[in-house]
């Protein structure tokens, strides 16, 4: 170090000393900037950067949060020229502590998400009882699908996936004021941009719905009106994506997970009022759609008070010159392609259903099965991936690749442990599940016979959809979103080919093609991820999945056998169905957990330790 550099270094130290005395934040030891992304080169060739924030009275909550996260992740270490030695025992203890910490966060989020999913299931049951799967309800499902697809392209999912890594990176580097400026800019840009897009769609809605076969001769007026009521969801969910992204970056998961409870309750209320207030099916659907819009606005408003407790706030700002704003949109393009193409697969599925199958039965049948399929998906895989995403982003920002690989491996194993038995149970017990949950009101046995095979076909890809979600989040955290985007593009073409082949088998052929695409997508992502970051415990994960699959086979045999005997003995009354299906699942899962314990599945031990810890 020459004299000039030494003097500059001393001036920086003196400036930090004066700032500490005034209670202001000091600067980090890392010289990294927002533009020096940690994945600019091969991670194995880069050293680990240690960023150590200092306490600031104005930012006490953020500093404490980051310090606590560092402790739990085992990353807190004094700066040194050479990394300290790590013993095998220390590594094992650190890994177990990380696993328990991740499991705790995952369970909290899963419980909150589970409550919302249960209430959502009640909404689905009420809808099925009121409208079944025949008639204009199919136009409603398509009208609902369109804004959901656009939302996935430009609103909450894609926006949050691109926003969280950039926002978290600035928080880790201590750029709090700038982080909130960027968040505010994005909030107002979404408000203006999505507001204009909503207005445009309201004008062209008739033409869009006619593409799906809902023209003047087939519920065209109903479909257009429903689409116009529902499309503003895109605007509201775009703003929600910013708010939830901020809260997740501060490790606040519970409130965003509980807000769908309010969403479903409002919709249930609207559905009840709509069915009771009129006998017109079209009017009932209009009230139902309006309730969904009102509920979405309430879902956006609910988390807002929790922003006040953070170290910044959203304000009026449009600073498009900030490189971070540009960076979010640059990241959002491939994320939009990746997530959007996944949802465009659903559009392709429904195009086949409306044009080559029965447009007034099959679209709704596929959606009813899809909702049941998404119940374990939302409770488990979404919970795990959402909790781990900010953690992955922080590890990538610190360039701690060993911890990053450990989190990815842990996430994959947790998802497989939870979803493999769920997929097996949904496949072998599809008929009693659909019959118990849906066969009420106008939903009859013929509808059950159409929906149950769809659920069984969807169940084949349940686990693979969850692992795709986890791997996608891993690539997003590495800020390499183009990789899952190319995989999604390939899946798009593959899905169209499979739909063209399997629709001939009947309604369930469409869900089957979706499951096969999920399997192919997971295989491609695993290969590409291993090339990028080799050694993320894939062998350990494969062994665990094999053991869990064996245990799930026992679940299938025990569960189906118990249900069949009880169903034949007790009949098909509501109470009898609850007893036969409930005992079948309970004893089946008892066999599953017993074998997992016998096989020494580590994920079960983690959950048992978590139970003892909470007790």
The three-state DSSP-derived secondary structure of 488-513 is HHHHHHHHHHHHHHHHHHCCCHHHHH
What average pLDDT does the structure give for the chain?
80
**What CA–CA distance (Å, rounded) separates 120 from 236?**
19
Per-residue model confidence (pLDDT) at position 483: 85
Flag whether pLDDT at 311 surpasses 70: yes
Q: What is d(CA 13, CA 89) in angstroms, rounded to the nearest whole number?
A: 38
How far is it, in rounded angstroms, from Cα 212 to Cα 351? 6
Over residues 532-558, mean pLDDT: 88
* Separation of alpha carbons 557 and 403, rounded Å: 39
Range with the poorest average pLDDT among 172-176, 231-235, 536-540: 536-540
What's the pLDDT at 507?
95
> Taking residues 7-25, what's their average pLDDT?
53
How far is the C-alpha of 210 from the C-alpha of 220, rounded, in Å? 7
Sorting pLDDT into bands at 50, 70 and 90, what band is 615?
very low
Q: Average pLDDT, stretch 80-88? A: 38
The whole-angstrom separation of Cα 316 and Cα 181 is 9
Tell whether the model's pLDDT for residue 161 goes beyond 80.
no
* pLDDT tens, position by position, 29-68: 333 333 323 333 333 333 333 333 333 444 333 333 333 3
Q: Contact, 502 vs 514, CB < 8 A?
A: no
Cα distances from 509 to residues 112, 348, 355, 489, 505, in angstroms, run: 34, 13, 15, 21, 5
- Among the listed ranges 257-266, 268-277, 320-329, 601-610, which one has the minimum average pLDDT value? 601-610
Higher-pLDDT residue of 107 and 273 is 273
* 339 pLDDT tier (thresholds 50, 70, 90): low
In the chain, what is the straight-line distance between the N-terminal and C-terminal CA atoms, in Å? 56
Percentage of the chain with pLDDT > 70?
78
CA 278, 281, 287, 291 dihedral sign is positive
Least confident of 35-39, 338-342, 394-398, 475-479: 35-39
Tens digit of each residue's pLDDT (9 = 90 or more) over 487-511? 888 999 999 999 999 999 999 999 9
Higher per-residue pLDDT: 259 or 448:
448
Q: Provide the pLDDT for residue 514.
A: 94
pTM of the model: 0.74
Query: Is the pLDDT higher at 97 or at 340?
Result: 340
98 or 342, higher pLDDT = 342
Tell me what pLDDT residue 75 has.
Answer: 35
The contacts found for 354-360 with CB under 8 angstroms, 24 or more apart, are 354/138, 354/142, 354/212, 354/213, 354/214, 355/213, 356/503, 357/503, 357/507, 357/510, 359/138, 359/212, 359/213, 359/214, 359/218, 360/134, 360/135, 360/138, 360/218
Q: How far apart, in whole angstroms, are the C-alpha atoms of residue 382 and residue 470?
A: 8
Q: Are the beta carbons of 76 and 70 closer than 8 angstroms?
A: yes
> For 223-252, what is each residue's pLDDT tens digit?
999 999 999 999 999 898 898 888 888 877
456: CB partners within 8 A, 6+ apart:
426, 427, 428, 430, 508
Mean pLDDT (whole number) for 598-604: 85
287 has a pLDDT exceeding 80: yes
């Amino acid at each position: 170090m020459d004299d000039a550099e030494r003097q500059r270094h001393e001036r920086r130290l003196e400036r930090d000393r004066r700032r500490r005395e005034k209670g202001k934040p000091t600067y980090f030891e890392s010289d990294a900037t927002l533009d020096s992304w940690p994945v600019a080169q091969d991670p194995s060739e880069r050293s680990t950067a240690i960023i150590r924030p200092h306490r600031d009275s104005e930012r006490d909550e953020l500093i404490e949060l980051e310090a606590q996260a560092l402790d739990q992740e085992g990353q807190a270490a004094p700066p040194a020229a050479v990394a300290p030695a790590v013993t095998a025992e220390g590594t094992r203890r650190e890994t177990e502590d990380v696993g328990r910490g991740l499991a705790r966060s995952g369970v909290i989020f899963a419980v909150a998400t589970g409550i919302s999913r249960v209430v959502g299931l009640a909404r689905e049951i009420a809808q099925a009882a009121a409208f079944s799967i025949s008639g204009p309800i199919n136009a409603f499902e398509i009208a609902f699908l369109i804004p959901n697809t656009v939302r996935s392209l430009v609103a909450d999912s894609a926006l949050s996936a691109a926003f969280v890594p950039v926002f978290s990176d600035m928080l880790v580097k201590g750029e709090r004021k700038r982080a909130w400026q960027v968040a505010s800019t994005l909030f107002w840009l979404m408000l203006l941009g999505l507001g204009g897009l909503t207005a445009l769609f309201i004008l062209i809605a008739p033409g869009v719905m006619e593409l799906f076969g809902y023209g003047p001769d087939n519920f065209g007026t109903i479909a257009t009106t429903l689409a116009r009521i529902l499309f503003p969801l895109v605007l509201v969910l775009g703003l929600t994506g910013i708010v939830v992204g901020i809260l997740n970056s501060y490790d606040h998961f519970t409130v965003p997970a509980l807000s769908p409870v309010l969403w479903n309750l409002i919709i249930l209320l609207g559905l009840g009022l709509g069915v009771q207030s009129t006998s017109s099916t079209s009017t009932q659907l209009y009230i139902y759609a309006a309730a969904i819009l009102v509920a979405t606005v309430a879902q956006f408003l609910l988390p807002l008070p929790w922003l006040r407790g953070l170290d910044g706030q959203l304000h009026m700002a449009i600073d498009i010159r900030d490189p971070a704003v540009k960076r979010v949109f640059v990241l959002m393009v491939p994320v939009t392609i990746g997530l959007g193409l996944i949802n465009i697969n659903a559009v392709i599925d429904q195009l086949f259903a409306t044009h080559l199958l029965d447009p007034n039965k099959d679209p709704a049948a596929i959606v009813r099965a899809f909702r049941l399929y998404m119940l374990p998906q939302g409770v488990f895989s979404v919970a795990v991936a959402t909790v781990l995403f900010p953690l992955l982003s922080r590890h990538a920002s610190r360039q701690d690749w060993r911890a990053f690989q450990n989190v990815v491996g842990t996430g994959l194993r947790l998802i497989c442990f939870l979803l493999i038995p769920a997929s097996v149970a949904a496949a072998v017990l599809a008929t009693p599940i659909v019959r118990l949950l849906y066969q009420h009101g106008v939903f009859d046995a013929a509808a059950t016979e159409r929906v149950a095979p769809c659920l069984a076909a969807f169940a084949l890809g349940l686990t693979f959809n969850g692992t795709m979600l986890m791997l996608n989040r891993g690539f997003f955290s590495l800020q390499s979103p183009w990789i899952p985007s190319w995989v999604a593009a390939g899946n798009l073409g593959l899905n169209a080919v499979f739909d063209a082949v399997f629709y001939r088998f009947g309604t369930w052929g469409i869900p089957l093609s979706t499951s096969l695409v999920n399997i192919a997508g997971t295989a491609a992502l695993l290969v590409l991820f291993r090339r990028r970051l080799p050694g993320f415990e894939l062998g350990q994960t494969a062994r665990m999945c094999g053991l869990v699959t064996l245990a799930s086979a026992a679940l299938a045999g025990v569960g189906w056998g118990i249900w069949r005997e009880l169903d034949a003995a007790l009949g098909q009354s509501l109470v009898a169905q609850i007893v036969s299906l409930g005992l079948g699942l309970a004893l089946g899962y008892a066999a599953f957990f017993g074998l997992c314990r016998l096989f020494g599945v580590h994920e079960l031990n983690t959950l048992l330790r978590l139970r003892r810890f909470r007790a």
